[in-house]
Amino acid sequence: MDQSVQSKSFRSAGLFWLTILVALGCLPAFANELPGKLVGHGGPIKAVSVSADGKRALTASFDYSIIYWSLTGSEGTVRHRLIGHDSAVNDVAFVPGKNHAVSVSDDGSLAIWNLDEGKLISRLQGEVFKALDVAVSDDGRYAAVARWDGTARVYDLQQKAEIAKLEGHRGNVNAVAFSADGKHLYSAAYDGQIIEWDIATGRLLRPIYRHGWGVNSIARIDEDRLVFGAINGEVGVVSVSKADKIADLAKRERPVQSVKVSTNKKLVGFGDGAGRIEVFNTSDLQRVEASEVAYGPVWDFDFVAGTTQVFHVGLDDFAIRWQVAPRKLSKIESEFPRRFQLAESDDPGELEFRRKCSVCHTLTPDGANRAGPTLYAVFGRMAGTLPGYTYSTALLNSQVIWNEQTIARLFDDGPDVMMPGTKMPIQRLKTVERRDDLIRYLKSATAPRK
């Protein structure tokens, strides 16, 4: 190609993307300074939230913790690690107007955090049903929680109290979103309904959409439009005033796990179970970009204000940045298969450990930051005695000494039966042979090194 023609081509491409970025209000002034990934968790990450100024982030993990980040350095800078839930943390959000955050967990609680101090302000414990999603009103006054007991709950964050229990769905509630004025709440559930509620009275106003499949996620685009993602892979836009779907964005083969709207309300996107993210303009709902950016599901993602970047999370124990426009594919730095996805092994006991235990536990003296303590030298150790790990009261009071018999009982009966109240996830094995293979492997792999 002639150099002058080539030069003009490059300039035209540059001008094209400059025009797009200006139109979207997303000039990436500090995009090159953003971390490529956020490294610090010890298990899969369930949720990510980026602050309105685009300089900070929160991640919530299977390892029971939340990390508060500065978006600096190549792997992010940890400001605080927030510990206070008794189970996997499913969602986290900044509170507008204060340097506070809220989070929800498998333990059924809503936690309120002081981010300046990295401390728990209050933990509001409901019945122990999975709390999957949390949203905060634009004025920072209320938090709403989607729960798997078929309810959505609304909390006054200043009073630190539940003010409404919203009942009307048939099945688990998966997602919540506030109206622009903070007076109404929208909830979505496995029953396929998106329902509008009056917060002041707790009254069910109306279903604004009925989908044939369960709805996993919703987000507010503007005063009248909601975007939703469904189990059957459909992504659509609903008009609140018309109480009907007004547009289809996509239809994927895998369930849609997350939908998000950018801070400036000019971009909307979704992540699905196949690791794909697609981004659209909110003005005309035309697609801006799409990419397969992850091995495994995109459980959550969020836009970075002032840029065309997103951070996405899933089965990895770190969040990954992807540049949407101009398109720049992320280098997928995770290993695949992961430690807990090992498909083949010469040792059936190792295979069981990878599948059942390795998400939460390591086998080395340095247990890292996993959901559970290291299993190094576990045989002969009394439960709840490893220094540096925060155990549940149930386990601390159990008086169990780990050996072949007690570990066999753990997998035969389940931790919920053996030690009621423990935060250990339920793991049972289908056959005695598989259980014995695992115990044999653990006894060898956890033996102290000489």
Is residue 160 within a helix (H) or strand (E), and if so which, with residue range? none
pLDDT at res. 1: 46
pLDDT tens digits along 130-179: 999 999 999 999 999 999 999 999 999 999 999 999 999 999 999 999 99
Evaluate if residue 396 carries a pLDDT over 90.
no
Average pLDDT, the chain: 88
Identify the band that residue 59 occupies on the pLDDT scale cut at 50, 70 and 90: very high
Q: What would the mean pLDDT of 302-306 be, rounded to a whole number?
A: 95
| DSSP output for 34-82 | S-SEEE--SS-EEEEEE-TTSSEEEEEETTSEEEEEES-SSS-EEEEEE
pLDDT of residue 413: 83
Per-residue confidence band for 22, with pLDDT thresholds at 50, 70 and 90? very low
**pLDDT for the residue numbered 341:** 65
Cα dist. 402→303, 405, 450 in Å?
46, 8, 21
pLDDT of residue 425: 67
Q: In this model, does residue 25 exceed pLDDT 60? A: no
Mean pLDDT in residue range 239-264? 96
| Between 82 and 414, residue with greater pLDDT | 82
Place of tokens 């204060």: 98
What's the pLDDT at 368? Answer: 62
**309 pLDDT higher than 70:** yes
Give the pairing type, strands 287-292 and 276-281. Answer: antiparallel
Each residue of 111-124: pLDDT tens digit? 999 999 999 999 99
* β pairing state of 151-156 and 142-147: antiparallel
The pLDDT of residue 389? 77
Count the Cβ atoms, other than its own, within 10 Å of residue 350. 18
pLDDT for the residue 329: 64
**pLDDT tier for residue 194 given thresholds of 50, 70 and 90:** very high
- Per-residue pLDDT, averaged over 69-82, amounts to 96
Q: What is the pLDDT of residue 340?
A: 64
* 367 pLDDT higher than 70: no
Q: In this structure, is the dihedral angle defined by the CA atoms of residues 341, 347, 353 and 356, taken in order, positive or negative?
A: positive
- Determine the pLDDT at residue 28: 43
Report residue 46 as tokens: 């369930």
Q: What percentage of the chain has pLDDT greater than the value 90?
A: 64
- DSSP class of residue 127 equals S
pTM: 0.81
Phi-psi label, residue 34: left if phi above 0, alpha if psi -120 to 50, beta otherwise: beta
Map out the domains of the chain with their CATH numbers.
Answer: 30-323 (2.130.10.10), 339-445 (1.10.760.10)
Q: Would the pLDDT of 24 be above 60?
A: no
- Which residues, in sequence order, are CB contacts of 227 under 8 Å at separation 6+? 218, 219, 221, 235, 236, 237, 238, 249, 259, 261, 268, 270
Q: How many helices (H) and strands (E) does the chain have?
A: 6, 28
Question: 27 pLDDT band (50/70/90 cuts)?
Answer: very low
Residue 56 confidence class, pLDDT cut points 50, 70, 90: very high
Banded pLDDT at 334 (limits 50, 70, 90): low
- Sequence-distant (6+) residues with CB within 8 A of 366 are 374
Residue-level pLDDT at 11: 42
For residue 102, pLDDT over 60 is answered with: yes
At residue 23, the 3 state secondary structure works out as helix
What is the model's pLDDT at position 330? 59
DSSP code at position 186 = E
- 441 sits in which H/E element: helix 432-445
For range 426-447, the mean pLDDT: 86
Query: Mean per-residue pLDDT for 5-22?
Result: 44
Nearest in space to 323 (alpha carbons), one of 20, 6, 8: 20
Cβ 400 vs Cβ 413: under 8 Å = no
